[in-house]
Amino acid sequence: SFFNRGSSIDIKSNAVDFTAIALPPNAPADFNGAVGELEMTVLADRTSLRTNEAVELSVKLSGRSNLKLLDAPKLDFPSDLENYDPKVVDKINVTSGGMTGSREFQYTLIPRHEGRYELGTMKFSYFDTRSGAYRSLESQPLVLDVAPGEGGPTAQIPRSTKSDVVALGEDI
């Protein structure tokens, strides 16, 4: 056929030996498989804002690890804070020594009511390959102070009503 010109070639790579070890028992409850040497930075682009204004919360994990496999930390936000799935920003280098760099999770939060929102500390656990033990990283407590927005203390987002919708036709 067109793709088989009558000859085949066997190709082999050099053999690679490695030793895999099991992770020790008693992992922290928030451990999700991260292995390596990591640092965590948690920042909000501002902590004072008005209702219905967005704030960006960034959780950045950096170091030498299986960065591409890291999932976003599970964060428990107050119900008055509308939140969206995080945007993931990778700055990862892959070399013969492994993966290094950072994976950043950027959360958009929108407070719907005025008040003081105590988000507490962010936690992340991983297995430290240098020490051979589990480590937990914890941020400083984060507090958002939300003042009344335009239109009073509980400004509403304008929504279209049925009277705003006009039928342009009856067919598909």
Mean pLDDT, the chain, rounded, equals 85
Report pLDDT digits (tens) over 6-37: 667 788 888 888 788 889 999 999 898 999 99
Q: Which of 10, 73, 68, 77 is nearest to 42 (CA)?
A: 73
**Is the pLDDT reported for residue 170 higher than 80?**
no
Who has greater pLDDT, 169 or 154? 169
| Max CA pair span of the chain | 80
Residue 2 has what pLDDT?
A: 58
Q: How far apart are CA 101 and CA 43, in angstroms?
A: 18
- SS3 track for the chain: CCCCCCCCCCCCCCCCCCCCCCCCCCCCCCCCCCEEEEEEEEEECCCEEECCCCEEEEEEEEEEECHHHCCCCCCCCCCCEEECCCEEEEEEEEECCEEEEEEEEEEEEEECCCEEEEEECCEEEEEECCCCEEEEEECCCEEEEEECECCECCCCCCCCCHHHCCCCCCCC
Tell me how long the chain is.
172
Residue 11 has what pLDDT?
A: 84
Report pLDDT digits (tens) over 130-158: 999 999 999 999 999 999 987 554 444 44
Residue 151 has what pLDDT?
A: 59
Report pLDDT digits (tens) over 30-71: 898 999 999 999 999 999 999 999 999 999 999 999 999 999
**Is the pLDDT reported for residue 166 higher than 60?**
no
Indicate whether this model's pTM tops 0.85: no
Question: Which residues, at least 6 apart from 100, have a Cβ–Cβ distance to it below 8 Å?
Answer: 63, 64, 67, 92, 93
Residue 172 has what pLDDT?
A: 60
Buried b (16+ CB within 10 A) or exposed e, 117-143: bebeebbbbbbbeeeeebeebebeebe
Instruction: Taking residues 76-87, report their average pLDDT.
Output: 90
Residue 4 has what pLDDT?
A: 60
